Each structure stands twice: as structure tokens, then as C-alpha cells.
Amino acid sequence: MSDPRSDRFVRSHLKVRQMVLLLELGRHGSVLHAAQAANLTQPAASKLLSELEHALGVQLFERLPRGVAPTVYGEVMIRRAGAALAEMDAAHQEVMALLSGMSGSVAIGTVMTPSTGLLPEAVKRLKGQHARVHVSISVDTSKLLIQRLRAGELDLVIGRILDTESASVLNFEPLTDEPHMVIARAGHPLAQGEPLQLADLAREGWILPPSGSILRDRLTALFLSHGLDQPAEVVETLALPVITQLLMGSNMVVALPTELVQSHLDAGLLTVLPFELGVRMDMYGIVTRKNHRLSPGASAMLEILRELGMRRSSFSA
């Protein structure tokens, strides 16, 4: 049950300028630079921060010889202020869209595999029903996308929830997992039909996702569990056009779901190497914020993704 005093605090003390200042303090770690970014004088910024700390009864920033650093309370306020300001921006965009006769907007984040099949199909269907909905799409790792979702920068994400803190404030609707195969160019020296060993692959150049991603961690664990060194020649990227060009122009290999490069496989430009990688990803799904009302455009996209996800599940069952 919420404390009425805290509700009164939010309504009567927390100002938009203070929320902007909190964000800029988090970005810059300096009252002077944060004040400049927020179009305030340094004394005015210091006063706003002091008023907020006094009203909350906690210290939000530790004063250092060269700047400031958020306390644990400050980190909470920075995150919540970012989400609140994002909501206000979204409300403004929605009102402007309605005034101009548009149907709103939707900002979607996705991991790589859905970006080549599920999501384009969903966007095509959305545009067929609501042609003037503005759609923006970000492709990244689940970790970064979930951070942006919690900050209010994205309406929904097709990805994974990787930590328990996020799981408590987000909804997750599972779609599918991603079996990975080792992909290389057609005519690759290892694509001669002979059974491969992991040691053979360890000597090749690899295209890998950034450190900290689930796939990178699982490939690292795979090599270590077989007593092998990590591949010495590595290119890190999530950009599919870069991946396919590197594959076709070199002897590098990559672990991907075949769905991502099916057109290249069908055209005989790439091939699946004869090795059972045994690496599967955790199930990805549709992720939204709990207790958050989506815009009309985002709601329409959510329903289409649910429908397409159910259809794909029934086909693969």
C-alpha cells in the first residue's frame, strides 16, 4: 500500500527541471556541466538538487573533489526520472500524431534473429492496417535493449530478460529459441563433408557477437570445456550485412541460426559446416513493462507479434 505522503511528495515537490537535472548529473558527474546541459545556472542547479535531497530526506549525490557521483538513492532517482521524461516525450509525440491525423508511433528493440523474419513480417502487417504509424527499430543485445525498455526509450522488445531485477518489473511472452549452426562461405576448406572436430574450428577466424552476450559466453564456455584456446582471429559485430560480406570474402566462420542467412544458403553463397555445435540460446520473447499502458500504435504491434508468434509456434509443433 503506497504512503500518501510519498504521493504528495511526487505531486508537489518533484519538478520537471529537477528530473532533467538528475539525468544530466548522471551523464556528466559535474554540477557545472549538468547545469549547462539543463540550461540552468550552477547556483540554480545546486539549489534544485538541495531542495530535492531535503524533500526526500536522503543524499542523492556524493560530493567529490572533482564532481559528483550518485549514491544508491541517486541511481534510483536517475533511472525513474529518465523513464518519467520518456513517458512525457511519448505523450507529446502521441498528441502531435493525433493532431496531424496519424495513428501514433512504436519503438521496438529486437535481437538479431527476429529482425530478419518475424519483425519485418509484423511491420508489414501493421503498415497494412495502420499505414501512418511511425515505426522505429533498434537491433542490439538483450542486455542493452532491456535497459532502454526500462528507461522508457522503447515500447517493447523482442529479446530475453537476463536478470532477476528486470524480471520483477517486466512482462515476458515466450516465442521460440534459436538453434545455432556453424556457417561459412561455399567452398570453405572445412566444407568437404568430412566430420569436423571443435579443434578444427578453433583454428579458424571467427565472427562473434560482443563480449557479455549470451552466445559469446556459451561459445567461450564450449571451447574452454574442450581444453581449447579461444579463436585468435576474431571480428566482433552484430551487423548482418557485415557478417555475410566477411563470410563470403574470407575463410572466417560464424555461429548463427540458419534463418538469418537462408537466402544466402539457398543461393549457394554460404554453407553449413558439418559440425553439431550443440549451442542453443535461451528462449526469446516479447518483453513489455508491467503496469504501463502502450500507445495505440504499440498496442497494435504487440497484438500482431502475438498472432504471428502463435502461428509460428503451431507450424513448428
Q: Which residue would you say has higher pLDDT here, 197 or 132? A: 197
> Are residues 22 and 37 both part of a single domain?
yes
> Are residues 172 and 300 both part of a single domain?
yes
Mean pLDDT of 62-85: 90
Say which DSSP state 135 is in.
E
Condensed to tens digits (0 to 9), the pLDDT of residues 100-128 reads 544 578 999 999 888 888 899 999 999 98
Helix, strand, coil % in the chain, rounded to nearest 5: 50, 20, 35
Q: Is 216 part of any domain?
A: yes
> Are residues 72 and 140 both part of a single domain?
no
> Are residues 171 and 289 both part of a single domain?
yes
Question: What is the model's pLDDT at position 224?
Answer: 94
The backbone torsions φ and ψ at residue 305, rounded to the nearest 5 degrees and listed phi first, read: -65, -40
> Are residues 146 and 187 both part of a single domain?
no
> Are residues 60 and 122 both part of a single domain?
no
- What range does the domain containing 32 cover? 4-79
Question: What is the model's pLDDT at position 316?
Answer: 38
Bridge partners of residue 235, in order along the sequence: 207
Residue 26 belongs to a domain with what CATH number? 1.10.10.10
β 234-236/181-185 pair status: unpaired
Q: Is 89 part of any domain?
A: no
Question: Distance (Å, rounded) from C-alpha 61 to C-alpha 34?
Answer: 13
Q: Is 131 helix (H, G, I), strand (E, B) or coil?
A: coil
Residue 254 belongs to a domain with what CATH number? 3.40.190.10
pLDDT tier at 317, thresholds 50, 70, 90: very low
> Are residues 162 and 124 both part of a single domain?
yes
> Domain total for the chain?
3
Mean pLDDT of 23-33: 92
Question: What is the model's pLDDT at position 100?
Answer: 55
Mean pLDDT of 214-234: 92
> Are residues 268 and 122 both part of a single domain?
no
Condensed to tens digits (0 to 9), the pLDDT of residues 138-168 reads 999 898 999 999 988 999 999 988 888 888 8
Q: Is 92 part of any domain?
A: no
Question: Distance (Å, rounded) from C-alpha 87 to C-alpha 68?
Answer: 27
Q: Is 126 part of any domain?
A: yes
Q: Is 264 part of any domain?
A: yes
Question: Distance (Å, rounded) from C-alpha 284 to C-alpha 40?
Answer: 43
Question: Distance (Å, rounded) from C-alpha 314 to C-alpha 317?
Answer: 5
> Are residues 156 and 207 both part of a single domain?
no
> Are residues 158 and 173 both part of a single domain?
yes
Condensed to tens digits (0 to 9), the pLDDT of residues 177-188 reads 677 899 999 999
Q: Is 147 part of any domain?
A: yes
> Are residues 293 and 253 both part of a single domain?
no
> Are residues 304 and 172 both part of a single domain?
yes
Question: Distance (Å, rounded) from C-alpha 142 to C-alpha 163?
Answer: 11
Per-residue cell: 165: 531485477
Rounded percentage of the chain residues whose pLDDT exceeds 90: 50
